[in-house]
A and B are shown apart, each in its own frame.
Chain A
Amino acid sequence: MLSLEGLHITRGQGAAGHEVRLPGLELASGEVQAVVGPSGCGKSTLLEAIGLLLTPRALRRFTLGPERTDLAALLQGGNERALAEIRARDLGFLLQSGGLLPFLSVRDNIALPRRLLGLPPQSERVAHACDVLGLAPLLDKRPGALSIGERQRTAFVRAMAHEPRLLLADEPTAALDPQAGERLFGLIVSLVQELDMAALVVSHDLALVTRFRLPRLVATLTPGGCRFAPAT
């Protein structure tokens, strides 16, 4: 599903500069990998680069999907429009605080990525996810009327509503209490497997990651930066 090699990102310059390296990453369909590491090590930066939001300094290979679209070339060529289209179609983002639009109902928030792609607002998978996550009674509410847990569940359904190939989640359970966090984590893992997506989940919560036996991409601090590598 995802194959990446030789990713090198630099943020800032000189002494304030920070380097993030990822020698290689392979993600299969249905696979969820956790990105773990201390605060400020560059987990979000890594997510930005894999989410096509940041042009890396170097990138040997980056392909996505069975057709193995060459994202490395698009990133290095700075083809903003093509990148934005791939981002909207093939990637789903689950943000730390949900990132729901406050002026849309839960239903419209979830339907927005599909509408932007010209797809019908409803889909079986979305309806199924809403049922599983207990969102059905909340569909007409605004995000302001939801609890944090409900918001995160809504954000998750929105992130997978257009059936992307890759889900990128940035500390989705950080704002939740442990029970709610665990429930959401479980739902992410099971739905990703069920829907044949791949997911990278940034998390601080090592216990949670261990409990779900997720393969880990672990940050190791290096002079002037950080290096991510699969835990052995």
Chain B
Amino acid sequence: MSRARLILRLALQDLWHDRYVSLCIAAALVAVIAPLLLLFGLKHGVISQLQRELLDDPRNLEVRMLTSGSYDEAWLDQVRALPGVGFAIGQTRSLNTQADLLRDRRHFLEGVELVPSAPGDPMLEEAGAVPEGDGVVLSEPAARRLGVAAGDTLTLAASRRLDDRPERGRLEVTVLGVLPPARFPRPAAFIDLPLLIELERFRDGHPSPRLGVAHGNRRDDYPLRYARARIFASDDEAVAGVVAALEARHIDTASRLAEIENVRAINRVLGLIFGVIAITALIGCLASMAGAFMANIDRKRREYAVLRLLGFHKPGVAAYVAAQVGLLTLVAFAAGLGLFALGSAVFNRALASSHLAAGVVSHITVVHALIALGLTLAVALLVTALSVARAFGIQPAESLREA
């Protein structure tokens, strides 16, 4: 039998012989590990739930411009180049962002909101389609009230008054997709930007063969200007930066920055609370474990002296103590993890019906578990160091003197 196996076996036999004391030492560790894991699991679970709720809704990434202006494509490119901007598209004057949608005499909607869109629009991530040409994506209320689904056709109509004569432009459009109900609560059609500009020019009196109105006042020098833009940050972390950049350009904005900051603040506060509790508990755990082990070594002073007398060198004594601390720590960690799983199951079951707990309330990742194991082993290492220093003070001659 190799020396290492012999030491491990002796350490185990000693722990088992003193199993009630071993149980007490391990229990002290479990009493720290399990509640800390539960506390951290809750903090992590709640925060990731809140963050998921924030991130799952792309509207939280939108930075809305409150004021209108006159912006060209170059300005829009500048906005797109701002750090943290994930998507930006120009928008016409708000009066011109409405049109009527008709399926038949019984199914029609007047003054439906038209939203310019393009590939990369976060709002359309779940629609499975992007408007292009005569294809549009409808919000769920619009599709429901018109009774249409993807693949159906509709008439998009806009009216104008030219030379005191009412005129109506019409375009046959195809429904490419429908947004999930929660994404956009009002009747709306997402269309591509050229179509929106075509509608604006039609309203401004231009001829529009595409809308079936060939006459009008063509102005070739008519500049392409946007009244505002739809701007989305790339992620929740970036919203604050985009808001600041736009406000630096004197553009008033509205965003869900407050909610995002709120989650961050909750994360910070919970992190601080958890950190302080964890440090206090770890110090207490270290003190209790080190005290228990050192008292144990004092209690077994004669046995250590005999082991040294029989030929245990100092590294052997260190390995013996380390094996005992390590084994108890691993057992305690496994038990702590088990208790955490039980506690988590109770939390998740009891809170599953509450608003917060649409998903999992308390959970940790494998990385968290490994970090917790690392911290526990770090505590064990300190305990080992203190205990080994104590055990090194025991001389083999003590077995003779105290015998």
* Residue ranges of A at the interface with B (Cβ–Cβ < 8 Å): 44, 47-48, 51, 53-54, 81, 84-85, 87-89, 93, 95-97, 99-104, 108, 112-113, 115-118, 142, 170
Contacts and interface: CB of A to CB of B under 8 A. Distances in A.
13 contacts: A48-B397, A85-B311, A87-B309, A87-B311, A93-B309, A101-B10, A101-B306, A103-B16, A113-B310, A116-B310, A116-B311, A117-B311, A142-B17
Contacts of B6: 115-116
A204 B107 CA distance: 117
B321 to A, nearest CB: 15
Given A47-B400, A88-B311, A103-B16, 10 more contacts: A81-B313, A89-B311, A95-B306, A101-B10, A101-B14, A103-B17, A104-B10, A104-B13, A113-B310, A116-B312
* Main SS class of interface, B: helix
A118 B309 CA distance: 16
B49 interface: no
A88 B403 contact: no
Given A101-B303, A103-B13, A113 B403 contact: no
Contact of B399 (A95, A103, A108, A113): A95
B401 interface: yes
Contacts of A99: 302, 306, 309, 399, 403
A62 to B, nearest CB: 17
A102 B309 CA distance: 16
Task: Across the A-B interface, give the 9 residue pairs with the lowest CB-CB distance, nearest first.
Answer: A88-B311, A103-B17, A95-B403, A53-B397, A96-B403, A116-B311, A99-B306, A103-B14, A103-B13
B335 interface: no
Interface of B: 1, 3, 6, 10, 13-14, 16-18, 302-303, 306-313, 395-397, 399-401, 403
B403 A97 contact: yes
B271 to A, nearest CB: 45
Contacts of B311: 84-85, 87-89, 113, 116-117
Contacts of A47: 400
Given A102-B17, A103-B14, A53 B400 contact: yes
Given A99-B302, A101-B306, A116-B312, A93 B14 contact: no
A95 B400 contact: yes
Nearest to B306: A99
Contacts of A108: 13
Contact of B310 (A53, A88, A118): A88
A202 to B, nearest CB: 10
Contacts of A115: 1, 6
Nearest to A52: B396
Contact of B400 (A93, A100, A102, A104): A93
A99 B399 CA distance: 7
B400 A48 contact: yes
Contacts of A81: 313
B8 to A, nearest CB: 13
Contacts of A48: 397, 400-401
B400 A44 contact: yes
A118 B328 CA distance: 28
B403 A53 contact: no
A84 B313 contact: yes
A54 B397 contact: yes
A48 B305 CA distance: 13
A116 B5 CA distance: 11
A161 to B, nearest CB: 10
Contacts of A89: 311
A112 B1 CA distance: 11
B25 to A, nearest CB: 16
Contacts of B403: 95-97, 99, 170
Contacts of A170: 400, 403
A93 B307 contact: no
A18 B403 CA distance: 21
